[in-house]
Structure 1
Amino acid sequence: MTRTAHTGIICIGSVLWDVIGRSASHMRQGSDVPGRITRLPGGVAMNIAMTLVRFGLTPTLLSTIGRDPEGDELTEACARLGMITDHVYRSDDLPTDRYMAVEAANGLIAAIADAHSLEAAGDKILRPLLHGPLGTATRRFDGLIALDGNLTRSLLERIARDAAFADADLRVAPASPGKAERLLPFITHRRATLYVNLEEAGLLCQTEFASSQEAARGLIARGAARVLVTDGERTATEADPTGAIGLTPPEVLVTRVTGAGDTFMAAHIAAEAEGQDREAALASALHAAAIYVSGDTPL
């Protein structure tokens, strides 16, 4: 059963099945090792929404899910986890998207994101925000939107310039370094906060940075209104034109990495929704991400 109300937080982007193979061994190209393979609800928008739910919030999903058996199962799982699924675009012609990754003791070995259905659906997923019930041309949505870079470049460009999103608090993250440049339209957006890692920041600025502090300064110099830059176990930085704050993540044993950045972003959003100040919100996000990668938080 789906929910029928929303709490002002909308997650737009990929909602799919994550198929993750994990091994406690070190791996390289061609390795064949024992491990565990799991299938769980995933995707950037989904991972963000799951973390928001853990912090007591009720996010609304805007995505596409096929009307195939996998899609029915995924939709039911989302609703059961506590998300609003009423406005998800269900396609008769497009299959449910999937993500596949292999992780080992030495980190992420390889991953493939099959988000072709999300890309093919295009602006159909935005209809509830443009034509009701979540928003209209005369009643623009003014809450918080978590937006992921799995959308096409053209659709992201449209969102960046469309007046329908002018009053929203946009929180934007690339789905991967390979899609980081899709976020270029949001660098100078006055109401966008960018969540990127060190590599993604470098791609957006077409350079290489030695630290998150340097990357944050570079993005702000390019016109960004606000950025959060992570760098694995090294210092993470939150910055806007008034200044920057840097904190080091807690030390933990890393047992998984897929979804860590999404957890960080969602935990930061939740902390600010609680009224935490800049430093406290960054600390809360780093703590949540550390717990996640240690494997202590349920997926």
Structure 2
Amino acid sequence: MDAKKSNLKTIVCYGEVLWDIFPDATKPGGAPMNVAYHLKKFGIDSQMISSVGSDSLGEALLNQLQDWNIPTENCQVNENFRTGFVEAIAGEDHEMTYVIHEDVAWDQIQPSTAYDTLVEQADAFIFGTLVCRNERSRNTLYKLLDKATYKVFDINLRPPFYSQEIIEHLLGQCNLLKLNHSELELIISWYTSNHRDEASAVQFLQEKFDIGEVIVTKGSRGATYYDGNQSHTSPACKVEVKDTVGAGDSFLAAFLSKKIQNESIETSMSYATALGAFVASNEGACPAYTIDQVERFANLNTRVSA
């Protein structure tokens, strides 16, 4: 894989910033912040819209963003709600379950004209479902969706914090949908039990909600991109998995960073699956690395066909 230089692009990530509390460590987390971290690694001007509490955990998160050279002026400081945190519990096959605590600052993101301008001028705007669990942050998101030109819905279903009504609204807004295979199966089950395969399920959603692009991630079976005219499957790298926390977030960041810099879908997907595997082979969602390391990693690890 050969990296190419181009003009600086801006991607805005909207939603939760928090602390992931693992059995043996506490680490910064939240899918949008994970994506912002990896975008920055790929030379993107990554911007984070969120909210933290006026407490030591909030201060620590803002310091972490600054350490990553991600601007903090769009992260509100809430005097009335604490900084978000999640308890992560490891299960079988390295899969994690999460206790996502409520009544926290990122549930209370307030609208801002500065946000409107930032999102309107950005090359892409990324959002998910979890931030929609509270009406205030959800309404702010809906207003920003009216400003965005390229809307990326990274679905990240976290029971019980989603509803069919909200998901349908967001599906109708997005230009690019990213979801895993089990999420695809769940959503398609709301409408039909007769889809023949993954491709037909994706086509159904694209036609129903007028979605231009869909990516389905499948863990060790790689990932497939669909745009209505073609599909491209990128095999996974065969690695020893440490944990899967943040692997999907890094996948999305690598894909978008390459796509908006006019790389081919094949190249964008290759970087995405490589970085996802690299992150899964390390501990935590945001390990330290360079792009050269990821490229060497991809070259050294065998691709596994689906």
Q: Which residue of 2 aligns with 1:202?
A: 185
- 8 Å CA contact 1:177–1:200 kept in 2: the answer is no
Q: What is aligned with 1:17?
A: 19
Shift of 1:16: 0.7
Deviation, structure 1 residue 298: 1.5
- Structure showing the higher helix proportion among its residues: 2
User: What CA distance in whole angstroms lies between the structure 2 residues aligned with 1:56 and 1:271?
Assistant: 10
Q: 2:205 aligns with which of 196, 219, 232?
A: 219
Q: Deviation digits for residues 134-153 of structure 1, max 9, x if unmatched?
A: 36xxxx43531111222226
Q: Given that residues 96 and 245 in structure 2 are in contact (C-alpha distance below 8 angstroms), is that contact kept between their aligned partners in structure 1?
A: no
User: How much does 1:262 deviate?
Assistant: 0.8
Q: Are positions 1:77 and 2:60 aligned together?
A: no
* Residue of structure 1 equivalent to 2:82: 95
Question: What SS class does the counterpart of residue 262 from structure 1 fall into?
Answer: helix
8 A Cα contact 1:157 1:185, kept in partner: no
**1:29-57, Cα deviation, whole Å (9 max, x unpaired):** xxxxxxxx111111011110111122122
Give distance in 2, aligned partners of 1:259 and 1:118: 21
How far does residue 195 in structure 1 lie from its aligned partner after superposition?
0.8
In structure 2, what is the equivalent of residue 149 of structure 1?
Answer: 129
One-letter code of the match for 2:19?
W
Counterpart in the other structure of 2:149: 168
How do 1:1-299 and structure 2 match up within 5 A? 8-21=10-23, 37-103=24-90, 106-118=93-105, 120-122=107-109, 124=110, 126-130=112-116, 134=118, 140-152=120-132, 156=138, 159=141, 162=143, 165-178=146-159, 179=161, 181=164, 182-189=166-173, 192-205=175-188, 206=190, 212-223=198-209, 224-295=211-282, 298=287
Measured in 2, the distance between the counterparts of 1:211 and 1:13 equals 32
Q: Which amino acid aligns with 2:171?
A: I
| DSSP-derived class of the 2:267 partner | helix
* CA distance, structure 1, for counterparts of residue 276 and residue 267 of structure 2: 14
Structure 1: gaps (5+ residues): 1-5, 22-36
TM-score by length of 1: 0.80
Contact 2:82 2:104 in 1 (8 A): yes
Closer, same or farther in 2 for the Cα pair 1:106/1:294, shift >3 Å?
same
Alignment RMSD: 2.7
Aligned partner of 1:90: which letter?
V
Distance of aligned partners of 1:158 and 1:67 in 2 relative to their CA distance in 1, 3 Å threshold:
closer
How many residue pairs were aligned? 270
SS at match of 1:151: helix
Q: CA deviation at 1:118?
A: 4.6
Partner amino acid, structure 2, of 1:165: D
Structure 1 residue 237: Cα displacement = 1.3
Alpha-carbon shift at residue 290 of structure 1 (Å): 0.7
Q: Is contact 2:111-2:140 (8 Å) kept?
A: no
**Corresponding residue number in structure 1 for 2:298:** none
After superposition, what is the alpha-carbon deviation per residue over 1:79-101, rounded to whole angstroms, capped at 9, x for unaligned? 11111111111100010001111
**What SS does structure 2 have at the residue aligned with 1:76?**
helix
Give unmatched runs, 5+ long, in structure 2.
1-7, 289-306
What letter matches 1:188 in structure 2? G
Q: Find the aligned partners of 2:155 and 2:223 in 1 and give their Cα distance.
A: 17
